[in-house]
Structure 1
């Protein structure tokens, strides 16, 4: 499994876990808030309404998380695929620009500009290599014609002159190569500095992520504490409702006794006849009051039982939400640990990049000194070559011309060879390398 797959799988896993946790928290919080605001339970219709609301919120959170993750991972994975192809020398890849002005959009646009610039650079280098190879062939042809006349000159003077010129040319080429290497080292030092700055920025981003994860962990702890306190209060409410049930039982018993006494009083009033009629009216009224009290106590008892059942269901829901929050806290702790490890590694990389930048600067200074020494040696060699050329006035012009042409051929051959090596590892659309010749073949023709 490559890095892209691991990143994608890890990100999806964490997003799914966070969505589940957020949904559970939302449902539990809405239930508790609704119950606390109303002060009582409205029945099965309200419960159904809470459940439907929670399901809708869970769906909204899940869809939002999916599209948010897709908007982040899609361009990053695409750039990773393009970078992988470029690392293998394939510059035919295309990366569309982004219209977004956020950090990800800027990164995509800068990456696209970098690919275009790199493709143009390699194309220009390859075209220059072909041009140098073509010119080298023409110079080789001229050199062969001049060599036929130079060979007739005295072998001693020819060898001395040729040796001096060859030495001067090689030193001159060495000086140019050193200058080129110096420029490349300066570019490398500049890129190392830029990389160090980017590494610092990544470190700051990692630190910010760690801080956010720690804040989320703290908020999770607060949610767990508040949820536990809510469950405790609801349990206490259930216990208090039990006490109310006991009081209602006493009221029911009193009502039963009162009803029985009213019945006995009615019987006695009937026995008393006309004298007990007023007492019978009072007994009937007492009976109605007793029956009303008994009915009210039954209704209160039913409400208390319903409250107790709803309280138990709410406690179970809160406990489930607390469990989900705890699991979410574990996920956040893992993410915080991973961010801290990333920050540590980024710090190590930053230190190493700074070391590379410093070493590169030192090497640039040493190479510049080497270039200066090579230039001085080349100057001395050129003076020796001039003194040798004065030994034979008859062959001076031909020898000088031959040496200049040979130097040009060698120079162009080396440049063509270097450019060919540089561009050999890159793949460009509709580019042919058939005209690029090897420097070894050109050198052999020069020595004919």
Structure 2
């Protein structure tokens, strides 16, 4: 980025940041100040409104008390008191109704006489009202702090009561004035703060006295369960920075207490009112910061032009000097710092010119020396280690010449020693190569034999593992067969016990069937006696019918009895015949059951005998299986021991095979190293043979 732009950006930020910080600080402070001012104003208004309501209630109490004293003994006379009460209601329109009640509590008369629902107020009993009892007890005027429902109207009202003095100084009647809460709502509704501000009044218990929403007054809404009550409870006045009202709207408020009743009255507004006023004020006061910002930007542009032009000139001069124009000089003008910079640039250009001239002479001298030393290096590279250079200069070139001469002499001595060592190395490597070749052949044959032995051991180990697996399978099969044999033996024993129990039950059943068959014989004998009795009864009924016919009218009743006896005898005869058939069926079934039981008993005895033979065979088989299982277990233990020995042998053979392989590999490496060493010795001999040390002439280095 160019310096002019940096200066403009710096000026812009210099102008913007203070303005922005001032604007933010001013914004936060102004809004907090406006909110605090509004709360202070609301607090003042709430105090004044509470005092105003208190004054209104006290004035109405005083005028009601004055009227009660003025009426005196005429208070219970409608003709005398009604005009006075009508004038009082006209002068104080907050009184919705004025009534008079004697100490009994039954209303004598009222102004107006009819309630809103058309009922007469006279006759209503108010003796149970707390305000009525308080006035009778204290003999003083009283403002009821609670909200009551009218006995006739049913509307929420506030009560003011005053005693009417009697002739002996007591209370002859109570003068009561009711104030409709709608009147108090209209009175408080005159307080307007902002677009959303309103006032609310509640009793000491939180019941609504006045509210812009008439529905809450009619429902006697209780604020003691709302968030605002935690601020109102226990304090006479104060501020509420933020709370959520009964309609879930965030507001702020200030509250005060009405002294006469203890009512809480608060004035509240939404934060949007303060925000709207604040934004309006902010918009009207933002012109000056914007003007200051524009002036700062213009000054930044002017200052950038004043600073950037001399710097750009110095930049162009430095660029030309860097390009090789050492005769270029910067103008020494402008601000003091830029003049000092121009002087430094000019001095740097002059110093660079002197250094360039000196460097050219030194470079020519170095080039000449490097050429001579290069020729010397070529002779040494060709193998002429006797070459020398003549040194007659001082400094680094002199030290370099002596070092080159020493290097040439050292290389000559080194080549002679290498020739001698190479000859000795050639003969030694030939002997080593022959020995390693023989050793490599022997180790290869040993490794092949070890591999064959390892293969045989692995085959033996696999065979042992196969035998062990088969033995384990035989053992498992023998154990399973042993379990099955034991289970079969238990099943046969259970079968024998069940067959014996069944045989015993069949014998018991056969005995019971035989007993039942004998009972049927007895029943048959009884049935025969009944049949004989039926025959005789039939014969007797016939004889009785004959005798009744002989008797004529006198024997008619006896003839009816004889007929009935005859019918009964015929029914008994038919029943005995049916019983005879049933007994015959029962006897045949009993005989068949006894025969079947005997056959099943015989079959059960045969089954028990067969089951016992099967149990004996299974017991013998279980014993044989147990012996086979023990033998298989012993074979398995022996096979496992044999397999463990084979595993150890296989492990040892594997280790021998690995060692043999390592030995073969090492021998091959040694053989390869010996061969490489022999080849290297021959190569060195050839190289040294090409190098010769012969006398050479000294050359001067100028």
User: What is the TM-score when the length of structure 1 is the normalising length?
Assistant: 0.41
Higher gyration radius (CA): 2
User: What is the TM-score when the length of structure 2 is the normalising length?
Assistant: 0.27
Q: Which has the higher contact order (CA 8 A, sep 6+)?
A: 1
Higher strand share: 2
Higher helix share: 1
